[in-house]
Structure 1
Amino acid sequence: MPAPRLRSLPRNVTDVARVLACVDGTVQNLQLSPDVGSVPLERATPIREFFSWPGKRNYEGLYWSSTNRRHVDFESLLERDYLLAADYAPDIVAIAAQPLALLWPRAARGNRDHVPDFFVRLGNGDGRLIDVRSPKGAEKYAEQSALTRKICDEIGWEYEVFTGLSPELAQNLRWLAGYRHDRYAPPTEIAESITRRFAEPVALEVGLGEASRRTGRSLEHTTANVLHLIWRRHLSADLSRPLSMSSEVWA
């Protein structure tokens, strides 16, 4: 049975902030405390419905995460860019979309609640809450972000306001993400042979040709294998510059 997604959030009638999350199919309404940090929010499902209407400007969709091995919801192309970056990040081991609602105390001014965009679990066990904002949005919602950061400090989480990737990095990650699936992963013996060829920095085009000859695989297969290995960080390249066949790649 699908986990419930709320169409509206309850009002907090207490004097302490509360955290609302749906983990393993059960909605939990928790008083803010460091104990919230032990909740496995990486297993949370979106706490609220994703609403659509004619003429809506944001683009919604599902991103298949190679980290989660399943789809993750997003509500804008900027959120999709965050998912690309998180999926590629070596320190992130799980990603959850709209994993909780922060219900402000009844005396709080303005909005009564806030639903952050993502929660990620880090390899060291720590948690990080993320709000995705355009640069203008980050300024507009600075007070809300300050409140959210204060909540995270009390729980023991990191907090990040993501405002976008550089054009070069975004373009490179979109290209590499096309090869993130396991179907592009070379067998272990082939991967080792490819890695040995890139032991020293070499232009991608040159390395691909030599790796193809060494392994006896087609250039098309080898290209897919190498780009997958770059995505998995078994090979490296300077992604702050446009990735091309002349880019240096190394193990």
Structure 2
Amino acid sequence: MKPSARTPENESRPVWSHSCSLRDLVAPYTIDPAAVESLDTGPAWPRRWTARWKTEKADVISPIQELASVPAVASVPVRGFTWRAGQRHRPGLQYLLATGRMHGFESLAERNLLLALDFVSGWTEVLSQPFRLKFTTKDGRSQDHTPDFLVLLHETALLIDVRPAHLIKDKDLLKFAATDRAAVAVGWHYLVAAGWRRQVLTGLDALSARRRPMSDRLGLQTELLEAARERPRRFGELVEETSLPAVARAHAVHLLWHGRLAMDLSLPLDDAAWIYPVGRP
């Protein structure tokens, strides 16, 4: 039987917008222990398993034990992002403020993951379809898998697969287990994003509408920050205390996206939502 998406511990705990990590936002998938037992992890397995990277000039094949030393930023996606009539998935390009460029995705679920990455901090680069992992099982079979994203952190990296829990098939369990094993072997982390905390996607979508730079000639952001600093306020009350509430709404959302105001992302963003000064939720 396949394991199900794991509900994060204490589902009712707040998800503070100004300090949350990606793991605070997603419902991760538990790696199947039986799949781990099926992998070939005998002596020297990190030399037998390989990763195929693609660059503008040639493919680069490295053993897993050298995975962390490959100049990943010089690579390009190992699979192209194509569009055709009748296809069941929805690929596309997502702009990230954090990198200032477009990033490919192969489904709407992957697009949501990119949006969440743009919201959280602590990473330096994200690469789509970074490499093709080739691994073996105990019965001698060879299989391959391409993780959806490689997120480069300051001293390590995070491999991510995005798969809604109800779409995960038995054949995926072995691939997830192998990718997790490869990541751990080089000191990286691995995450299967199988779902989201309650309200998170709705909140991120609302906040992202004002993530781009905004001109504030009327000083409304200063008014909002000063009002919130006095005491936490409901969103509707906070904007009404400014000199131009209708415009202040957009600036309040902008400040929330950029972590200068705080809210609990596990609750809806509406006029009743509590807004806090950063550092005092």
Normalised-by-shorter TM-score class: 0.7 to 0.9
Residue 258 of structure 2 is aligned with which of 195, 218, 232? 232
1:103 aligns with 2:157: no
Secondary structure of 1:174's counterpart equals helix
Equivalent runs, 1:170-189 vs 2, <5 Å? 170-182=201-213, 184=214, 186=216
The alignment-based identity, stated in percent, is 26
Q: Which region of structure 1 is more displaced relative to structure 2, 200-209 or 83-92?
A: 83-92
Secondary structure of 2:199's counterpart equals helix
Instruction: Tell me how far 1:40 sits from its aligned partner.
Output: 4.3
Distance 1:163 1:77 in 2: 13
Secondary structure of 2:202's counterpart equals helix
CA contact (8 A) 2:82 2:91 kept: no
Secondary structure of 1:163's counterpart equals strand
Once the two structures are superposed, what CA deviation does each residue of 1:127-173 show, in whole Å capped at 9, x if it has no partner? 00001112134352111111111111112110000012245111111
1:130 aligns with 2:160: yes
Distance 1:225 1:89 in 2: 19
1:29 aligns with 2:61: yes
Distance 1:42 1:82 in 2: 20
Amino acid at match of 1:134: P
Amino acid at match of 1:98: Q
Amino acid at match of 1:243: L
Gaps of 5+ in 2: 1-46
Residues paired across the two proteins, number: 229
Cα distance change of structure 1 residues 44 and 250 upon mapping to structure 2, 3 Å threshold: farther
Cα distance change of structure 1 residues 173 and 152 upon mapping to structure 2, 3 Å threshold: same
Higher relative contact order (CA 8 A, sep 6+): 2
Once the two structures are superposed, what CA deviation does each residue of 1:88-114 show, in whole Å capped at 9, x if it has no partner? 12233322111111123598526x321
Distance 1:227 1:61 in 2: 26
TM-score (norm 1): 0.80
Amino acid at match of 1:38: S
Cα distance change of structure 1 residues 21 and 204 upon mapping to structure 2, 3 Å threshold: same
CA contact (8 A) 1:104 1:113 kept: yes
Distance 1:175 1:157 in 2: 32
Residue 20 of structure 1 is aligned with which of 52, 55, 59? 52
Once the two structures are superposed, what CA deviation does each residue of 1:186-230 show, in whole Å capped at 9, x if it has no partner? 47x7644432221121011111122x32xxxx4344222221111
Amino acid at match of 2:261: L
Instruction: Tell me how far 1:76 sits from its aligned partner.
Output: 0.8
Cα distance change of structure 1 residues 22 and 232 upon mapping to structure 2, 3 Å threshold: farther
Cα distance change of structure 1 residues 51 and 22 upon mapping to structure 2, 3 Å threshold: same
Q: Tell me the equivalent position of 1:223.
A: 249
CA contact (8 A) 1:237 1:249 kept: yes
Secondary structure of 2:183's counterpart equals helix
Cα distance change of structure 1 residues 42 and 247 upon mapping to structure 2, 3 Å threshold: farther
Q: Tell me the equivalent position of 1:155.
A: 186
Cα distance change of structure 1 residues 234 and 40 upon mapping to structure 2, 3 Å threshold: farther
Q: Tell me the equivalent position of 1:48.
A: 79
Amino acid at match of 1:80: R
1:117 aligns with 2:148: yes
Q: Tell me the equivalent position of 2:236.
A: 205
